[in-house]
A and B are shown apart, each in its own frame.
Chain A
């Protein structure tokens, strides 16, 4: 099975913005769940986490749980055993990083538990996760909240955030990852 092409997947993703607004006046965004998780686990430590997460966050946590289920359904019942359908150029560049196994959605060598035994694995998985969580909270949104909802609503702050996402992504891709993986 081929991956769904961009002109099918993109418009479908865009439809989640009106769908969530029409169902419950909710703005499409995912990273607020990270804040809700803090509010649930460590509520009294900071003002930022002292709010009624049940009232404002239940819908979003349910949506995130649904994404997890969707990943399960698609990953277990709807995927072929083929590799990610990369362009030849991308395959060559990623091979040059030392990645040999293209059979999954992520490079198995780098996304294995034993990768955490190396400082490079820590930097990617722990450091990368910290940056995603800190950056999304600081910027007030992630790819869904800023790049989709915010840009679709023509909000200048979201455009600035998206330019930041790309600046950071380019630095990691062109400088940090090649250095980390010794390529």
Chain B
């Protein structure tokens, strides 16, 4: 009983860390206007470097950090050896076709999944509609995924 309670409180503590990391991420997304529909339009119209600079520098920083983690064989706080599972390419169809569907929606709503949560928090209440629709879209994929090409 005591051990179970201790395990539960450790799990709860870990979840608090993820909430705090999410909170910081949400603040960065909002303060840099990444969650702005206007910014997404500006990006897809090639009218500003802002979004490209953000995505590009994020990738460079994450890539360097990943190389350091891999080469030094670092472990996570929970003791697990850190591993990034490779994605399987297959014919590649799911990536270009699924990606194109995603992009069509991204520019219409002006938000991808992370910004949807941040916009809702920022008080744009109607965002529950695209968020619920995105869940419905994921559900549709789950129902039809055996019919789709990969």
Q: Are B92 and A160 in contact (CB under 8 A)?
A: yes
User: In the assembly, what is the distance between CA of A126 and CA of B147, in Å?
Assistant: 23
Q: Chain B contact residues (Cβ within 8 angstroms of A): what range?
A: 35 or more
Tell whether A182 is near chain B: CB-to-CB under 8 Å: no
Q: Are B104 and A25 in contact (CB under 8 A)?
A: no
Q: Are B37 and A107 in contact (CB under 8 A)?
A: yes
Q: Are A71 and B117 in contact (CB under 8 A)?
A: yes
Contacts of B39 in A (CB 8 A): 84, 86
Q: Are B102 and A173 in contact (CB under 8 A)?
A: no
Of B49, B59, B140, most buried by chain A (CB within 10 Å of CB) is B59
Query: How many whole Å from B129's CB to the nearest CB in chain A?
Result: 5
Contacts of B114 in A (CB 8 A): 30, 64, 67, 142-144
Contacts of B107 in A (CB 8 A): 168-173, 176-177
Contacts of A10 in B (CB 8 A): 53-58, 61
Query: How many whole Å from B21's CB to the nearest CB in chain A?
Result: 6
Query: How many whole Å from B115's CB to the nearest CB in chain A?
Result: 8
Query: How many whole Å from B90's CB to the nearest CB in chain A?
Result: 8
Residue contacts A-B, CB under 8 angstroms, 10 given: A63-B25, A73-B27, A85-B33, A106-B36, A129-B109, A133-B133, A135-B99, A135-B104, A137-B141, A152-B62
